[in-house]
Chain A
Amino acid sequence: MGLFSSGFSGRGRSDNPALPPGQYLTESFPVLSAGPTPRVDLDTWTFDITTETGAVHAWNWEQFRALPAEDVTEDIHCVTSWSKLGTSWRGVSLDTLFADIDTSAEFTMAHSYGGYTTNVPLEDLLDGKAWIAFDFDGDDLEPEHGGPARLVIPHLYFWKSAKWVRGLRMMDNDEPGFWEQNGYHMYGDPWLEQRYW
């Protein structure tokens, strides 16, 4: 290491094995979003999965909340370098939502109320790796954190965990979503530091 910043000592080495490279721990829960927080009315809320053939599987709030939910505790990692360990969510596994979906497409585009999009390979949503969460830390998910419901995909940088999610569209080919068109990585693995293009 030839370059060091003279007079900088920092808080000391962070040897926490739960922390991906280039990340620091935070106890707070910073908010990311590109525009205003959309108002989402539970009476009109829907979540749908649209397959590559155009088949639509939709749930209203009542149907969605009648699905089996899981409590999960996961570490989350933001591309802006903060990580928060042991966050508690309650939500519906994507395995449950995809149980009756017939698709051979390998990619998905998540769509949100407010227009946000982000692309995620289907295999990163399945096998217990992702949830549609409606509860954070024992309370209803606050609108600024993505309520009433958001994607939670803890193993990818957190911009992939689309807030205010309203649907997934299956795609045969990977396409960039909102941040992915604005300089951020197509996949976003925090352990490989896939932050930017």
Chain B
Amino acid sequence: MSFAPATITAVRQETPGARTLTLDAENWPGHKAGQHVDVRLTAENGYTAVRSYSIASSAASGVLKITVDRLVDGEVSPYLVDVAEIGDRVEVRGPAGGWFVWRGTSDEPVQLIGGGSGVVPLMSMIRSHGDAASTAPFRLLYSVRSPTSALFYDELAQRTTSDRSLTIDFAFSRATPQGWPSTPARLDRAAVEASVLTPDTGATIFVCGSTPFVEAIANWLVEAGHPPDKIRTERFGGIGVSP
């Protein structure tokens, strides 16, 4: 797999800290929901930097969109979130990853659990699920600071209406929407157990977020009786995602 030139054809500000870039890459072969792509930037002096980003777009769309969260000390993400414009060029290599993927080939239940920008590969699965009119039960638990920092907040709300097999639970840690039935709280074991599919459903579970988030959630899931081989994880900095 080698790098191919890509042009930024659209940008969308998702939150104050995150932006979605649509990339038109030469000979893009399409992707599976949950895969990631390497993005290489080259400065005028020839200096290059590469990072991996989760693909956010639906597998059925054939379109490559990445949603990038600005990392405070980042080298690549601040450029992609704050500087890059339509028409700018980057290089992409991918798609990559064959494990943290939803192939859409069965109606087996799926539980998605995302922390912060860890929701991005899960969003690709949700979009793919909707586009394929899949009847596989899909449930998302999305842990995020506040409604304003939640990625895809409006689209997720729309999709719970249009996609009848999709259920979404938000866990807000710092601020809730007005009139929300509960106060902001860190996601804990009880809340996780109350809002994920139970082990008897046989659900495959995808967990993506920071390492402490994924470690805690995956441990709780195992202790709650979910078979470890049904739990697939992806962490920032792991094989896969840069925030």
Contact = CB atoms under 8 A, between A and B. Distances in A.
B72 interface: no
A10 B238 contact: no
Given A3-B42, A114-B228, A10 B49 contact: yes
B5 interface: yes
A170 to B, nearest CB: 25
Interface size class of A (residues with CB under 8 A): 35 or more
Given A36-B233, A80-B238, A10 B218 contact: no
| Majority-rule SS of A interface residues | loop
Interface in B47-87: 47-52, 75-76, 79, 83-85
A144 interface: yes
B78 to A, nearest CB: 10
Given A5-B89, A114-B228, A13 B235 contact: no
Nearest to A33: B233
B84 A7 contact: yes
Contact of A5 (B51, B90, B233): B90
A81 B94 CA distance: 14
Interface stretch (A24-32, A47-55, A60-68, A119-127): A24-32
Interface stretch (B95-103, B122-130, B131-139): B95-103
A13 B45 contact: yes
B41 A5 contact: yes
A34 B1 contact: no
B232 A35 contact: yes
B83 A8 contact: yes
B52 A81 contact: yes
A35 B229 contact: yes
A159 interface: yes
A1 B42 CA distance: 9
A12 B45 CA distance: 9
Contacts of B188: none
A96 B51 CA distance: 38
Interface residues of B, number: 50
Contacts of A128: none
Contacts of B190: none
A10 B47 contact: yes
A4 B1 contact: no
B229 A4 contact: no
B228 A36 contact: yes
Contacts of A178: 99
B150 to A, nearest CB: 25
B218 A35 contact: yes
B174 to A, nearest CB: 24
Interface of B: 1, 5, 38, 40-52, 75-76, 79, 83-85, 88-91, 93, 96-100, 211, 215, 218-219, 221-222, 228-229, 231-233, 235-240, 242
11 contacts: A3-B5, A4-B89, A5-B41, A12-B47, A22-B40, A33-B233, A35-B218, A36-B222, A36-B233, A182-B97, A184-B239
Interface of A: 1, 3-14, 22, 24, 26, 28, 30-38, 79-82, 114-115, 144, 159, 178-179, 181-184, 195-197
